[in-house]
């Protein structure tokens, strides 16, 4: 009887852990593409205000492209700190990049470096979170990955709407940087829940 009670209690705890992980995942899976699209939607008008010509604006936007190659490092880094560690690192990098641009919005060098760091962070976070989501959705991996793609595109679609409602470029940067930090906290929290769930 005691063993049955323990098993039932363990089953409930496992269910609660799974639900908590699912809710946390939905929250922080939306953020990377939402932030990426929002920032690059707002960056163009900001650079126009700084007096840049269209050709130079395109070049400055392209500065962030090399950061996308950081996605190739997600696997090697994960062997050392795990995929959750990669995701946390990515969110922290992205947040730092946004804060840097927020502090130096009038400096083209600051904007360029901050954009590069931000893109590198997003490039680390997205594949790490996709991998995590795929692991969580076993044995229904196909359905889970379809849901994951849907959530990512919700974030991408919401980005321009946020830009339309926020008039301050610096305010947008700070807001998204804070959200990135919260996402890193969520990932760390989900990692803690997973460990505790396994121990039980």
- Domain 30-189 adopts which CATH fold? Growth Hormone; Chain: A; (1.20.1250)
Rounded CA gap, 28 and 177, in Å?
A: 13
Q: How many CB atoms lie within 10 A of CB 159?
A: 21
Model confidence at 16, pLDDT cuts 50, 70, 90, reads low
Domain ranges of the chain: 30-189
Element (H, E) at 168: none
Residue 179 in contact with residue 92, Cβ under 8 Å? no
Rounded CA gap, 138 and 125, in Å?
A: 20
Model confidence at 28, pLDDT cuts 50, 70, 90, reads low
pLDDT of 49 over the 50 cut: yes
Rounded CA gap, 167 and 163, in Å?
A: 7
pTM: 0.79
Give 87-131 pLDDT, tens digit per residue: 999 999 999 999 999 999 999 999 999 999 999 999 999 888 877
> Looking at residue 198, what is its pLDDT?
46
Rounded CA gap, 119 and 108, in Å?
A: 16
């Amino acid at each position: 009887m005691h063993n049955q009670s323990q098993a039932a209690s363990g089953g409930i705890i496992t269910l609660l852990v799974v639900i908590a992980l699912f809710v946390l995942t939905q929250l922080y899976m939306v953020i990377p593409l939402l932030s990426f699209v929002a920032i690059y939607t707002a960056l163009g008008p900001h650079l126009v205000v700084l007096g840049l010509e269209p050709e130079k604006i395109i070049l400055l936007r392209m500065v962030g492209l090399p950061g996308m190659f950081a996605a190739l490092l997600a696997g090697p880094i994960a062997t050392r700190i795990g995929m959750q560690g990669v995701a946390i690192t990515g969110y922290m990098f992205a947040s730092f990049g946004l804060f840097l641009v927020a502090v130096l919005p009038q400096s083209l060098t600051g904007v360029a470096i901050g954009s590069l760091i931000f893109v590198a962070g997003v490039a680390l976070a997205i594949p790490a979170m996709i991998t995590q989501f795929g692991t969580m959705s076993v044995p229904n991996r196909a359905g889970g990955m379809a849901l994951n793609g849907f959530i990512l595109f919700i974030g991408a679609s919401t980005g321009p709407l946020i830009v339309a409602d926020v008039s301050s470029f610096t305010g947008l940067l700070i807001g998204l940087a804070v959200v990135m930090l919260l996402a890193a906290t969520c990932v760390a929290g989900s990692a803690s829940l997973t460990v505790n769930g396994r121990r039980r």
